[in-house]
């Protein structure tokens, strides 16, 4: 092809596992592995990948090159390695030995309520809150801040106010295990349903103990025994039957059984021996965060260790600031928040992310430094991602092919909107559509009409241009036609989302299910002139059809998969042969068939993904 040939280089690769950042460039990768950028570029070129020395590489490219030169690597997200250093800077102690743990005071359990939709999670949370929240001296009004604390027999219990396993798993995905106990709500009339099982599996995966609330027992159709049986089948055996799962009958509607439920949550909490240091710099997790017009950045955090105080220099992800005020679930300003307390924090520089860990820094300087470095890496990661996307991403109409190729598909978009508000909302909504296998890369986002430069950018980065309440000018439209850039104009966010969602649904690689349509046993093999080898078979079940997909089984093991090339009854070519008849099956390219083998035909049926 006239390309320079790649000669394996002699230089040894560095020993051990080398950490490589995703989306690195040949320029950075080469020297790490005792190679030059040109070595990387040349090698990839030979494998059909045209990249420049400064262009981001895909995971596949990096792995391909490293495999070639025999280097073992570990791919990490940009900034991930630095995080270890930052934690050192923040002076966060992670491992605590058992003896030290026992010296800590007890802390309130943190409870998440999960279960199937409509089984009464919200109602239960409301009842618990209304009946048990400590009325503040000022007669505080309960505030929905994402979590609340109740007191039962002088002991506190913290409830996370977002029922369901989405929030729970989202937190866990970010490494934040906030929950100590799960209350699994099952409606006694409805029984165990799909989301009950999902919730149960999530709790098990997180190794969080489960207390079952069998709800709606006021209903005529309530059948708690059936619920117990169903749960026992899933490995949750009720205490009443000698198992170790506490199951309490309740009616959230009639406020029945709730005290019993809370008492038992405390029993489980005792078994768990939940403790945390009361002193020292506070640490915990962000439950929820938003921007408030009057108050600025507002974050609800759950303190997990230490005591959070007004004035503390707090870092949460890439947000930081001195705590200006702490507000509890009654809307009251408080000065200190001990472990297991949910509290709103005012004073952060930025909106923290839900699931971000927070820690009080040794001092303001360290705090701002750590947040700054994280912010930097966040930008690097997002730039790398977008650059990466430019190289490997696709337009809305093409993304189907990307997914079919079995890779992570990236939808490249350039967004122009009328005002910043809609731009943010649109970005947010699109981000929320992301899944592990489909990413959205924002090549450019801006306010104002669609210009020639937007078109150029979309063309060079293979992006779809989304206009929200804006239109291209004449020059831009002409260029778009010339460059074949797809411009999609919208006036309602929902329609953008719907379009992208539909595209994603349509572009999902279909999953196929196999349905066996017939099987035949091979009795003898013979050669037929002009046809080749033919298996004389007896159809045992169903129908064998010509052109069917087929697999050959020997002792139940698949030895070959392919298609039937010819099908005969006697001397006649036939389309299909039914059970109980003999036939000759042409084997085309598969030769190693013996008498006694089974030929099975099957159909593939597409299973729609939702």
Least Cβ distance, residue 259 to ligand GDP (angstroms): 15
* Sites for ligand GDP among residues 240-259 (CB under 6 A): 251-253
**CB contact at 8 A, 356 and 315:** no
Listed ranges 113-121, 517-525, 545-553, 576-584: which one lies at the site for ligand GDP (CB under 6 A): 113-121
Comparison of 196 and 601: residue with beta carbon closer to ligand GDP: 196
Q: Which is nearer to ligand GDP, 219 or 551 (CB)?
A: 219
Q: How far is the CB of 164 from ligand GDP (least distance, A)?
A: 8
Closest CA to 210 of 222, 192, 223, 190: 192
**Least distance between ligand GDP and beta carbon 117 (Å):** 5
Total residues contacting ligand GDP by CB under 6 A comes to 16
Q: Is 216 in the site for ligand GDP (CB under 6 A)?
A: yes
Q: Minimum distance from CB of 190 to ligand GDP (Å)?
A: 10
Burial of 306 (0-12, 13-18, 19+ CB in 10 A): buried
Q: Cα torsion for 278, 281, 283, 287, to the nearest 10°?
A: 90
Q: Is 119 in the site for ligand GDP (CB under 6 A)?
A: yes
CB of 254 to ligand GDP, least distance (A): 6
Closer residue to ligand GDP in complex, CB, 163/342: 163
CB atoms closer than 10 angstroms to residue 101: 12
Among 179, 215, 340, 461, binds ligand GDP (CB under 6 A): 215
Select 196 or 340, whichever has its Cβ closest to ligand GDP: 196
**Should residue 117 be labelled a site residue for ligand GDP when binding is judged by CB under 6 A?**
yes
Is residue 114 a contact residue for ligand GDP (CB under 6 A)? Answer: no
What residues contact 354, with CB distance under 8 A and at least 6 apart? Answer: 167, 170, 171, 286, 287, 288, 289
Among 22, 35, 123, 385, binds ligand GDP (CB under 6 A): 123
Which C-beta is closer to ligand GDP: that of 183 or that of 389?
A: 183
The least distance separating ligand GDP from the CB of residue 118, rounded to whole angstroms, comes to 4
Is 165 a binder of ligand GDP (CB under 6 A)? no
Edge-to-edge strand order for the sheet containing 438-447?
438-447, 409-417, 464-468, 487-490
CB of 285 vs ligand GDP, minimal distance in Å: 23
Residue closest to 158 by CA, chosen among 136, 138, 183: 183
Is the distance from CB of 44 to CB of 61 less than 8 angstroms? Answer: yes
Q: Point out which span in 36-44, 121-129, 295-303, 589-597 binds ligand GDP (CB under 6 A).
A: 121-129
Q: What's the rounded Cα separation, in Å, for the pair 433 and 587?
A: 47
Closer to ligand GDP by CB, 121 or 416: give it: 121
φ, ψ at 272 (rounded to 5°): -75, -15
Shortest distance (Å) from residue 121 CB to ligand GDP = 3
* Binder of ligand GDP out of 68, 77, 177, 218 (CB under 6 A): 218
How far is the C-alpha of 575 from the C-alpha of 1, rounded, in Å? Answer: 47
* Among 158, 172, 168, 160, CA closest to 106: 158
Part in contact with ligand GDP (CB under 6 A); list of ranges 117-125, 359-367, 382-390, 416-424: 117-125
- Residue numbers 490-549 binding ligand GDP by CB under 6 A: none
Other beta carbons within 10 angstroms of residue 589's beta carbon come to 10
Shortest distance in whole angstroms from residue 217 CB to ligand GDP = 7
**DSSP assignment letter at 251:** B
CB nearer ligand GDP, residue 22 or residue 121? 121
CA distance 259 to 264: 9
The 3-state secondary structure of 92-154 reads: CCCCCCHHHHHHCCECCCEEEEEECCCCCHHHHHHHHHHHHCCCCCCCCCCCCCCEEEEEECC
Contacting positions for ligand GDP (CB under 6 A): 115, 117-123, 163, 215-216, 218-219, 251-253
């Amino acid at each position: 092809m006239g390309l320079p040939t790649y000669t394996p280089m002699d230089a040894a690769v560095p020993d051990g596992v080398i950490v490589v950042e995703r989306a690195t460039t040949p320029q950075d990768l080469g020297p790490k592995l005792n190679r030059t950028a040109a070595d990387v570029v040349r090698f990839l070129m030979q494998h059909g990948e045209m990249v420049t020395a400064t262009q981001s590489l895909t995971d596949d490219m990096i792995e391909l090159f490293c495999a070639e030169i025999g280097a073992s690597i570990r791919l990490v997200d940009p900034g991930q390695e630095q995080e270890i250093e930052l934690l050192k800077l923040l002076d966060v102690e992670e491992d605590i030995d058992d003896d030290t743990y026992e010296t800590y005071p007890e802390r309130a359990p943190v409870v998440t309520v999960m279960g199937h939709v409509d089984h009464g999670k919200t109602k239960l949370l409301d009842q618990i809150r209304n009946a048990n929240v400590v009325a503040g001296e000022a007669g505080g009004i309960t505030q929905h801040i994402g979590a609340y604390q109740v007191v039962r027999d002088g002991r506190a219990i913290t409830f996370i106010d977002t029922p369901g396993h989405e929030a729970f798993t989202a937190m866990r995905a970010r490494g934040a295990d906030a929950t100590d106990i799960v209350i699994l709500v099952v409606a006694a009339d409805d029984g165990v349903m799909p989301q009950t099982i999902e919730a149960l599996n999530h709790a098990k995966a997180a190794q969080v103990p489960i207390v079952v609330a069998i709800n709606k027992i006021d209903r005529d159709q309530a059948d708690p025994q059936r619920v117990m049986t169903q749960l026992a089948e899933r490995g949750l055996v009720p205490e009443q039957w000698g198992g170790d799962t506490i199951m309490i009958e309740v009616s959230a509607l009639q406020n029945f059984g709730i005290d019993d439920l809370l008492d038992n949550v405390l029993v489980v909490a005792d078994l768990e021996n939940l403790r945390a240091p009361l002193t020292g710099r506070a640490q915990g997790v962000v439950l929820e965060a938003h921007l408030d017009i009057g108050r600025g950045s507002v974050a609800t955090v759950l303190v997990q260790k230490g005591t959070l105080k007004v004035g503390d220099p707090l870092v949460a992800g890439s947000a930081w600031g001195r705590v200006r005020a702490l507000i509890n679930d009654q809307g009251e300003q408080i000065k200190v928040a001990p472990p297991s307390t949910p509290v709103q924090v005012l004073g952060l520089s930025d909106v923290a992310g839900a699931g971000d860990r927070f820690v009080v820094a040794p001092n303001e300087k360290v705090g701002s430094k750590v947040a700054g470095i994280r912010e930097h890496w966040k930008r690097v990661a997002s730039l790398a991602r977008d650059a990466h996307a430019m190289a490997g991403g696709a337009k809305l109409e093409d993304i189907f092919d990307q997914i079919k190729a079995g890779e992570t598909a990236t939808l490249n978009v350039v967004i122009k909107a009328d005002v910043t508000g809609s731009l943010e909302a649109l970005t947010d909504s699109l981000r929320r559509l992301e899944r592990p296998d489909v990413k959205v890369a924002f090549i450019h986002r801006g306010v104002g009409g669609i210009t020639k430069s937007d078109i150029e950018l979309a063309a060079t980065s293979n992006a779809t241009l989304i206009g929200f309440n804006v239109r291209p000018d004449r020059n831009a439209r002409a260029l778009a036609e010339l460059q074949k850039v797809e411009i999609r104009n919208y006036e309602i966010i929902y329609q953008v989302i719907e379009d992208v969602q539909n595209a994603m649904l349509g572009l999902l690689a279909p999953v196929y299910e196999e349905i066996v349509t017939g099987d035949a046993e091979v009795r003898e093999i013979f050669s037929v002139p002009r046809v080749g080898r033919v298996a004389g078979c007896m159809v045992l079940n169903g129908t064998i059809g010509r052109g069917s997909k087929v697999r050959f089984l020997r002792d139940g093991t698949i030895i070959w998969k392919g298609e039937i090339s010819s099908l005969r009854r006697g001397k006649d070519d036939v389309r299909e042969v039914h059970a109980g008849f003999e036939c000759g099956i042409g084997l085309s390219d598969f030769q190693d068939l013996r008498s006694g083998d089974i030929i099975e035909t099957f159909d593939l049926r597409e299973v729609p993904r939702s």
